[in-house]
Amino acid sequence: MPDRSQYYTLGAFLLGVVLTSAWTQQWSSSPSRKSRNRQRPNVKDHEGSAEHDGIKEGIEGCIGNTPLIKIKSLSEATGCEILAKAEFLNGAGNSPKDRVALSIIQMAEADGLLTPHSGDTVYEGTVGSTGISLAAICRARGYKAHICMPDDMAIEKSDLLLKLGAEVERVRPAPIVDQKQFVNLARSRALEHTADPNKRGSGLFADQFETEANWKAHYAGTGPEIYDQTDGNLDAFVSGAGTGGTISGVALFLKEKLPGLKVVLADPPGSGLYNRVKFGVMFNTKEKEGTRRRHQVDTIVEGIGINRVTQNFEVGRELIDDAVKVTDDQAIKMARWLVEHDGIFCGSSSAVNCVAATTLAKQLGPGHRIVTLLCDSGARHLSKFWANKEVGGSEDDVSLESVLQP
């Protein structure tokens, strides 16, 4: 029998080549290998690209696309799916006002009203959140920020503004007809800056209450995100209103897609927006002769509630179907409930939103899906809304009915 060992050796060698080639091809196309390849991009291929492979362009890239979370305790208690847009996860000022602040600045840049690193300064009158967002984004884009705010707002807000490098003026609360009211003062400061030859750059009044950049930010961002995240399957949207830009912008977008959607305003004590929605008149009982207080909106809730008509609210008012009044006590109890049952530590306006969303769920009955907003963290409200408020233990010792009791 002839010696065939050389043929066996040659066959084994060729089989090894084939197997090695097949294994190499499979390994290089595997998901894990693709992932490793993506971690080492060709720099020349991406040269000039503002954003790729999940890398965001500056802090502005962290604004928007916030998650929609299910509030488990409220959903289980009502039989409805109560979802909250986690707006406190916006990456600049950690509130929905990030969207507005960026929109205002981008619009001003497009109109040639702001030039980076020229000394241009953005002026705004705010109770806190818009100012914080503006201060952060101004720093990121080469501008200064000057913020006027009432002196009865939580001190954490002005402290944070100062740490962000903004100039802060805390002024006594006053009605809008007073030229020293915080919004009017910010407008005046912007004009003074522009007219002063000794100051670099010019002043821009952000005008969050009236600028269309406000509601358009939510029409272009928040509304579409909610629609996509729910696959268009929702029954109601609930939100408080300060400037009115959020509820108007979201309503304008969602009602185009879902005409049967119920849009509901959540309104705190002292605000006239409830009556504006229900009866078409901006009025609150504290406006009665002999009962007017120093503060028109006398509440511990900050960021929502107002006693004057704004363009941002009016642009979407006819799309708001109903309104729910929420007391300070209800908001405080809801904030505690959310910590104790869900580990959610929120601010006052978020608590108001959740009271109204839960009230609406009780009215609609089980099986509905309701979306609201968690606006900012309770860490911004420690000295006022959360002052002297203790959180209970892990035992369930409070009913939701007691939380909702007016």
Q: How far apart are CA 38 and CA 34, in angstroms?
A: 6
Q: Hey, what are 363's tokens? A: 């009215």
Q: What is the DSSP letter of 88?
A: G
End-to-end CA distance of the chain: 103
Which member of 97, 157, 325, 384 is catalytic?
97
Q: Is 229:221 a contact under the CB 8 Å cutoff? A: no
Residues counted in the chain = 406
Token pair 């509130």 is at which residue? Answer: 95
Instruction: Specify whether the CB–CB gap between 245 and 215 falls below 8 A.
Output: yes
Report the 10 Å Cβ neighbour count for 399: 11
> Which residues are registered as beta bridge partners of 325?
267
Contact criterion met (CB below 8 Å) for 368 and 236: yes
Is 70 among the residues known to form the active site? no
Residue 391 in 3-state DSSP?
coil
Residues classed as catalytic = 97
